[in-house]
Amino acid sequence: MSVVQLIGKALFTFKKKELPKKIDKILFFKIGALGDVLMTTPLVRAIRQRFPHATIYYACGNSFEHALRGNKNINYLIPFDERIFLNSGFLELKKLATRLRENKYDIIFVLDKHWAAGLFAARCGRFRTGFDRNGEGFANNLNVYYRQNKHDIDAYLDLGIYFKAKLLGREMDLAITKQDRKFAKKICKKPSIAVAPGGAINTGQRAKIKIWPKENYLRVIDALCKKFSIVVVGGKEDKRICSWIYKHAKNKKKIQNLCGKTTISQTGAIMELCKFVVCNDSGAMHIASCVNNNVISLFGPTNPYVLAPLNKGSVFIWKEKQACYDIYGRFNTCDKNLMKKITVEDVLYAAKRYQ
């Protein structure tokens, strides 16, 4: 246990553990990232059902709040610049804490596992519930232990246990508008497949070790082009890899490169219309899981039993016996060539089930 945790444990020794008698205002607090934010939505749905008349707020990083827009279980979104938690922006953190504290929440769900998130939330409200990851939950009033031994959706749902929230399914919520679907129909006029070759880039983290080689994606796309149109999707940070694939593809007429050109909901609408989706363990994988039962996800350092799509029709490809990505989100012990163990033939064989 670190010095910070020892001091924190002492400072919060006398914290209350009895739930507030009245719960009218609820805050969900999550710094990021995209996939993690989406995986919290089943918990939000369960808490909404448990407290139908409460006002629910969700504060999360600017880069990810688009994933929550239109969510019928949330009354107010509070976006903030997530970089202030990495750059030690004390004044900005103080301003955000003051802004959040003004709403006088009865309960704050601290959805990040780092002790700093719980300590920040303690400045925003009197009662917090969150995770204890090897002693990091010292600032929360109530905790559930996080051991990375179950799917993260289930771990988030565990936070509802203290409130007797009922499980309303493990499906993630992503709101897609009529305009999004109209846009997607123009893109997917013929039988299509969505391919997301990038990802794994978030504020403060660049996990290239999770990315399958672009040369392999190119070979898969060239093979699938014989039967399907291909829509290449991803964020702005994926433009380079997507452009390389498009440049070297054999049949460009059957490929649309939309990397960096669509919103999260537009990407979801496109994936919804596709026969199946091929992707790395990334935010795009979780978007696909929200809207499509046929997702082929490629794993290396991370554990698919903790993160992979739960849809019955989806499959993951993983050549490891255990994850090298540890409970603190570090890749220190990982072999840089893990993803190369997955072959083009592995992916094409998996794709046969959807053809």
pLDDT tens sequence across 93-104: 999 999 999 999
Reported confidence tier of residue 13, pLDDT bands at 50, 70, 90: confident
Residue at 42 is within a domain: yes
Please say whether the beta carbons of 288 and 274 come within 8 A: no
- Pick the residue with more confidence: 287 or 16? 287
Torsion of CA 73, 75, 76, 82, to 10 degrees: -10
Please say whether the beta carbons of 180 and 66 come within 8 A: no
Distance between CA atoms of residues 238 and 258, nearest Å: 10
Domain stop point among 163, 192, 225:
163
Strands (E), 55-211: 55-61, 76-80, 107-110, 128-132, 142-145, 192-196, 201-202, 205-206
- Pick the residue with more confidence: 240 or 14? 240
| Exposure letters 108-126 (e unless 16+ CB within 10 A, then b) | bbbbbbbbebbbbbbebbe
Would you list the DSSP string of 300-328? SSS-HHHHS---TT-EEEE--SS--S-TT
pTM: 0.95
CA of residue 107 relative to chain centroid, distance? 23
Is 194 found in the same domain as 83?
Answer: no
Residue at 171 is within a domain: no
Is 332 found in the same domain as 223?
Answer: yes
pLDDT at 235 over 70: yes
Neighbours of 13 (CB within 10 A): 8
Is 326 found in the same domain as 236?
Answer: yes
Is 264 found in the same domain as 324?
Answer: yes
CA of residue 191 relative to chain centroid, distance? 28
**Cis preceding-peptide flag for 196 (omega within 30 of 0):** no
Tens of pLDDT, residue by residue over 30-80, are: 998 999 999 999 999 999 999 999 999 999 999 999 999 999 999 999 999
Torsion of CA 121, 124, 126, 129, to 10 degrees: -30
Residue at 64 is within a domain: yes
- Pick the residue with more confidence: 299 or 3? 299
Is 183 found in the same domain as 157?
Answer: no
Residue at 224 is within a domain: yes
Closest CA to 284 of 306, 258, 305, 247: 258
Residue at 244 is within a domain: yes
CA of residue 147 relative to chain centroid, distance? 18
Is 153 found in the same domain as 113?
Answer: yes
Tell me how long the chain is: 355
Distance between CA atoms of residues 21 and 19, nearest Å: 6
Residue at 170 is within a domain: no
Distance between CA atoms of residues 170 and 185, nearest Å: 28
Domain stop point among 163, 186, 217:
163
Q: What is the pLDDT of residue 30?
A: 97
CA–CA distance from 275 to each of 19, 224, 291, 314 (Å)? 47, 12, 11, 12
Is 195 found in the same domain as 126?
Answer: no
235 is in which domain, residue-wise? 178-354
Domain stop point among 111, 131, 163:
163
CA–CA distance from 176 to each of 236, 262, 290 (Å)? 20, 13, 10
Is 209 found in the same domain as 119?
Answer: no
- Pick the residue with more confidence: 245 or 14? 245
Q: What is the pLDDT of residue 203?
A: 64
Please say whether the beta carbons of 260 and 276 come within 8 A: no
* Bridge partners for 128 per DSSP: 108
Distance between CA atoms of residues 77 and 66, nearest Å: 10
Number of compact structural domains in the chain: 2
Q: What is the pLDDT of residue 75?
A: 98
Is 206 found in the same domain as 120?
Answer: no
Is 237 found in the same domain as 349?
Answer: yes
Is 191 found in the same domain as 117?
Answer: no
Q: What is the pLDDT of residue 156?
A: 98
Residue at 172 is within a domain: no
Tens of pLDDT, residue by residue over 299-333, are: 999 999 999 999 999 999 999 999 999 999 899 99
Is 204 found in the same domain as 142?
Answer: no
Q: What is the domain-level CATH number for residue 274?
A: 3.40.50.2000
Q: What is the pLDDT of residue 1?
A: 67
Would you list the DSSP string of 235-286? -GGGHHHHHHHHHH-S-GGGEEE-TTTS-HHHHHHHHHHSS-EEEESSHHHH
What residues have CB less than 8 Å from 328, skipping those under 6 apart?
Answer: 133
Tens of pLDDT, residue by residue over 174-227, are: 999 999 999 999 999 999 999 999 997 776 667 899 999 999 999 999 999 999
- Give the mean pLDDT of the chain: 94
Burial of 319 per CB tally in 10 Å (0-12, 13-18, 19+): middle
Residue at 173 is within a domain: no
Q: What is the pLDDT of residue 89?
A: 75
Percent of the chain with pLDDT over 90: 89
Q: What is the pLDDT of residue 3?
A: 77
Q: What is the pLDDT of residue 191?
A: 95
